[in-house]
């Protein structure tokens, strides 16, 4: 059975979402960094104050119910004076790419922005991920070349906190 319906994630989706996160991490050559647990995902997505949100595409095949997901959270633009939607991960199972599921997930998030008056939809993509870059250009996404991502993590984070 194949539906391709996009819906909000439910608690029983967490194991499959987490597996797809690991599949994405493996593709991005960072599987050892994907250490999140189901408990953490349940708390973040469905706890008393959810900090992230997810949409999934239903596609029942080979004992799996989901064909992909989009996990996102709100950010804020001081220049626009309103929230934006930051897409943390977009993933469609490799065998389902080209079906329109990725575009449907992004379209759903764009509609979320329109419905809630969010100022923008944004995400990062690895510069070597040519299939994703081509797909994003095809839907009108533009690179933010003048910006450089900065990150503090691990030991450097702890040291910064001690200053």
Q: pTM value?
A: 0.89
Residue 1's pLDDT band, with cuts at 50, 70 and 90, is: very low
- For the segment 60-65, the average pLDDT, to the nearest whole number, is 82
Dihedral angle of Cα 78, 82, 87, 88, to the nearest 10 degrees: 50
Specify if 66 maps to a domain: yes
Domain count of the fold of the chain: 1
Closest CA to 114 of 93, 71, 156, 83: 83
Q: Which CATH number do you get for residue 118?
A: 3.40.630.30
Residues noted as catalytic = 136
Residue 4 or 95, more confident: 95
pLDDT in tens, 126-159: 889 898 899 899 989 998 888 888 989 889 999 9
**Is 51 inside any structural domain?**
yes
**Contacts for 39-47 with beta carbons within 8 Å, 24 or more apart?**
41/14, 41/17, 42/11, 42/14, 45/9, 45/11, 45/14, 46/11
Query: Is residue 1 in some structural domain?
Result: no
Name the residue range of residue 18's domain.
6-161
Q: What is the predicted pLDDT for the residue at 96?
A: 95
The answer to whether residue 105 is domain-embedded is: yes
Residue at 43 is within a domain: yes
């Amino acid at each position: 059975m194949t539906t391709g319906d996009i819906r909000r994630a439910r608690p029983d989706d967490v194991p499959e979402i987490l597996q797809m996160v690991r599949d994405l991490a493996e593709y991005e050559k960072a599987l050892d960094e994907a250490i999140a647990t189901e408990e953490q995902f349940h708390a973040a997505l469905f706890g008393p104050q959810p900090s992230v949100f997810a949409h999934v595409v239903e596609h029942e095949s080979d004992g799996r119910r989901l064909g992909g997901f989009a996990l996102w959270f709100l950010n804020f633009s001081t220049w626009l004076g309103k929230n934006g939607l930051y897409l943390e991960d977009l993933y469609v199972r490799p065998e389902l790419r080209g079906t329109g599921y990725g575009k449907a997930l992004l379209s759903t998030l764009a509609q979320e922005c329109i419905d809630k008056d969010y100022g923008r939809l944004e995400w990062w993509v690895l510069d070597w991920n040519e299939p994703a870059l081509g797909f994003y250009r095809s839907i009108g996404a533009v690179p933010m070349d003048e910006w450089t991502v900065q990150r503090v993590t691990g030991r450097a984070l702890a040291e910064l906190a001690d200053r």
